[in-house]
Amino acid sequence: MNNVFVYIEIEGTKVQEVSQELLTKGRKLADELGVQLHAVVAGTGIKGAVESQILPYGVDKLFVFDGDGLFPYTSKPHTDILVNLFKREEPQICLMGATVIGRDLGPRVSSSLTSGLTADCTQLEIGDYEDKRAGKVYKNLLYQIRPAFGGNIVATIVNPDHRPQMATVRSGVMKAEVLDAQYQGEVVYENVADFVPAEDYVVKVIERHVEAAKHNLKGAPIVVAGGYGVGSKENFDLLFDLATLLHGEVGASRAAVDAGFCDHDRQIGQTGVTVHPKVYIACGISGQIQHIAGMQDSKIIISINSDPDAPINKIADYVITGTVEDVVPKLIKYYKSNSK
Amino acid sequence: MSLKIVVLAKQVPDTRNVGPDAMTPEGTVNRAALPAIFNPEDMNALEQALLLKDQDPATQVRIVTMGPPRATEIIREGLYRGTDGGVLLTDRAFAGADTLATSYALATAIRKMGLPDIVIGGRQAIDGDTAQVGPQVAQKLGYNQVTYVTSIDKVEDGKITVTRHIDGGVERVEAPLPILLTVNGDAAPCRPQNAKLVMKYKRAMTPIERPAEGELPYAEEYERKPYLNITQWSVADVEGDVTQCGLSGSPTKVKNVENIAFKAKESKTLTASDKDVESLVKELLAEKIIG
């Protein structure tokens, strides 16, 4: 009862990084609350294959659901598992990845349990909440902190009366750290049929293509990112040239992705990838909060912008006032001539 | 096979084009400064519904939207593109709803409209980016759901096949009807308004939009042309439980809202001149920041 739960996402028998990031965060929250960290995983042929990828993050109890029809993921069976497990275990917090799966599953579970869910949190903390109207103080709630309203404000959301307090978090926002490779957590193998009625396996995945990521933007030491100010898909090629030269990766702001300059999977920000590079070169990016939420931990930020008042310049170490077409080729040229 | 389709659509402030006056000095959102638009991904959803209607004109497509009176515009936008009408859910009791209370209101309205074969909406709205309302409506209606849909490939024999986006790939999924789908922004864009339909429906209104008795021009037109009357429902009309609506039906509470102030750094400002750019590159190389 009252423990912290993390829903573990898998691809085949591989635990996804985002789940390990959440376990790391979940462990800290559980310690702060003085409760246990529990995890739940559902798939097909996972028994014996996933435990060692989960327990070392400090999981006290792992619930494994292994059965046909649980991989690939479909909404209803996984919802049944979480809803019925949560009715029995009564967790106080449930975390899941803000992935396609987490964003499909989380709301369905929250609706079944009438519990509050906050999407795409960028910070999670424990704290008190005073409901002034009801004259009531709630101790140790989960603060679900996220940019809101197109990234123009940051809101702290709480769920005072409903459990579990549910939150989704994007991949890369939290950091995965093994607590103890030998961590002795209990593993419970549940009988899937007790949780999922047979008629809930009606959605069939008839074809599926998953490709390994084409790039490693999340872990890149140098990121060259472009915004709407890059102006065109062709100008984005300049960014790719610079990134290749610096052994970095290209990222983009949402505005650039929406304008079709760059693929969606390179979007940096609250609703995209979060990066922590050594150097972040922001090209023609104005710097909405949603974007900054995804790159503010970069060590060195270089902003190239024709607008000297672009908001991103405030957090930049170097500001170059100029256009992307002008400055990026110069960076390439002088890097080539000085680096040898 | 003719279908009954309900499209979930939302009128949203255009958060993509936020100007400096979007926030008041007190740090609250200045809604008046933001234009209200048809949520972009709901447009993609509308197109998927209209494509099914193209295949069989007997297919019925209706929009349901929740919002203030001016959100009737969403239903008119649908009529201009070929829908069969819609319902505006409007009531002070709906105000302040989080996603759960919103899904409760929408599900209640959909039940009153008559349970359709397909409920379809955008993946998420640009003012909240939560992607929660679709799956929550599905759960409340007891429907299966498929999210992140990029196309509807076929509907036959009570089954639907769709292509959807997943992390790192794509999937084709087959599901029995009824179903709730949410549609991605990379699905087909919505068709433009049809000039004839604009002429036909430009005076379509909800009762709440009508001026007071006697001031309504073309008053008799609304009696002659029933299609100009857009349905408007309150909590009472849908027999909703007020405690599950709006602020009181919302388990999530906003503790506080801040204008975020990022730690400003002391920045070095350079021009785009060759001299400045070269000296920056040299500095970064010398400090082994790059290279």
CA angle B59, B64, B67 (to 5 degrees): 165
Listed in order, strand segments (DSSP E) in chain B are 4-8, 11-13, 36-38, 60-66, 86-89, 118-122, 144-156, 159-166, 169-176, 179-183, 231-233, 253-258, 268-271
What CATH number was assigned to the domain covering residues A222-338?
A: 3.40.50.1220
Among A104-108, A250-254, A263-267, B148-152, which is the least confidently predicted range?
A263-267
The boundaries of every CATH 3.40.50.1220 domain in chain A are 222-338
Q: For residue A6, what pLDDT band results from cuts at 50, 70 and 90?
A: very high
Q: Please give the structure tokens belonging to residue B17.
A: 């084009």
Q: For residue B210, what pLDDT band results from cuts at 50, 70 and 90?
A: confident
Q: For residue A71, what pLDDT band results from cuts at 50, 70 and 90?
A: very high
At residue B288, does pLDDT exceed 90? no
Residue of A nearest to B102 (CA): A111
Please tell me whether residue B236 adopts helix, strand or coil conformation: coil
Q: For residue A152, what pLDDT band results from cuts at 50, 70 and 90?
A: low
Q: Do B274 and A116 touch (CB under 8 A)?
A: no
Q: Which residues of B267-287 are buried (b: 16+ CB within 10 A; e: fewer)?
A: beebebeeebbbebbeebeee
**Between residues B261 and B122, which one has the greater pLDDT?**
B122
Q: Do A319 and B270 touch (CB under 8 A)?
A: yes
At residue A257, does pLDDT exceed 60? yes
Instruction: Tell me the average pLDDT of chain A.
Output: 94
The phi, psi pair for A135, rounded to 5°, reads 60, 40
Q: Do A119 and B132 touch (CB under 8 A)?
A: yes
The phi, psi pair for B265, rounded to 5°, reads -105, 160
Q: Do A116 and B252 touch (CB under 8 A)?
A: yes
* A137 lies within 8 A of chain B by CB: no
**Mean pLDDT, residues A143-148 taken together:** 89
At residue B184, does pLDDT exceed 90? yes
Distance CA A294, CA A285 (A): 13
At residue B240, does pLDDT exceed 70? yes
* A154 lies within 8 A of chain B by CB: yes
At residue A68, does pLDDT exceed 80? yes
Distance CA A130, CA A160 (A): 9
* A327 lies within 8 A of chain B by CB: yes
At residue A144, does pLDDT exceed 70? yes
**Mean pLDDT, residues A37-45 taken together:** 98
Which residue has 């998927």 as its token pair? Answer: B48
Task: Residue window 233-262, chain A: list those with CB within 8 Å of chain B.
Answer: 246, 255, 258
Q: Please give the structure tokens belonging to residue A189.
A: 């193998």
Are A167 and A143 in contact, with CB atoms under 8 Å apart?
no
| Model pLDDT, residue B26 | 54
* A267 lies within 8 A of chain B by CB: no
Q: For residue B88, what pLDDT band results from cuts at 50, 70 and 90?
A: very high
| Model pLDDT, residue B21 | 65
Q: Do A255 and B252 touch (CB under 8 A)?
A: no
List beta partners, residue B172.
A207, B163
Give the CA radius of gyration of chain A.
22
| Model pLDDT, residue B290 | 83
| Model pLDDT, residue B211 | 75
Q: In the A/B pair of chains, how many CB contacts fall below 8 A?
A: 250
| Model pLDDT, residue B29 | 60
**Between residues A1 and B60, which one has the greater pLDDT?**
B60
CA A136 to chain centre: 33
The boundaries of every CATH 3.40.50.620 domain in chain A are 4-119+164-202
CA angle A165, A169, A172 (to 5 degrees): 150
At residue A3, does pLDDT exceed 70? yes
At residue B235, does pLDDT exceed 70? yes
At residue B160, does pLDDT exceed 80? yes
CB-nearest partner of A300 from B23, B98, B289? B289
**Mean pLDDT, residues B233-240 taken together:** 96
A4-119+164-202 classified as CATH 3.40.430.10: no
Q: Residue type for A188, please?
A: V
Whose CA is closest to A109, among B263, B138, B246, B249?
B138
Which residues in chain A have their CB less than 8 angstroms from residue B15's CB?
149-152
Q: For residue B82, what pLDDT band results from cuts at 50, 70 and 90?
A: very high
CA distance B227 to chain A (A): 35
CA distance A174 to chain B (A): 18
Distance CA B219, CA B249 (A): 38
At residue A323, does pLDDT exceed 80? yes
At residue A147, does pLDDT exceed 90? no
* B139 lies within 8 A of chain A by CB: yes
Q: Do B272 and A114 touch (CB under 8 A)?
A: no
* B180 lies within 8 A of chain A by CB: no
Mutation target to probe the B interface, by most B beta carbons within 10 A, among A71, A318, A324, A337 is A318
Whose CA is closest to A284, among A263, A264, A261?
A261
At residue B28, does pLDDT exceed 60? no
Q: Do B175 and A203 touch (CB under 8 A)?
A: yes
**Mean pLDDT, residues A64-69 taken together:** 97
At residue B27, does pLDDT exceed 60? no
pLDDT tens across B37-55, in order?
999 999 999 999 999 999 9
Which residues in chain A have their CB less than 8 angstroms from residue B145's CB?
75, 104, 108
Percent of residues, chain A, with pLDDT higher than 90: 84
Among A26-30, A186-190, B20-24, which is the least confidently predicted range?
B20-24
| Model pLDDT, residue A128 | 96
| Model pLDDT, residue A151 | 65
At residue A160, does pLDDT exceed 90? yes
Task: Residue window 19-48, chain A: list those with CB within 8 Å of chain B.
Answer: none
Q: Which residues contact B117 (CB under 8 A, 6 or more apart)?
A: B3, B4, B5, B177, B178, B179
pLDDT tens across A240-249, in order?
999 999 999 9
Instruction: Tell me the average pLDDT of chain B.
Output: 91
At residue A79, does pLDDT exceed 60? yes
Q: Do B255 and A129 touch (CB under 8 A)?
A: yes
The secondary structure of residue A60, as a DSSP letter, is S
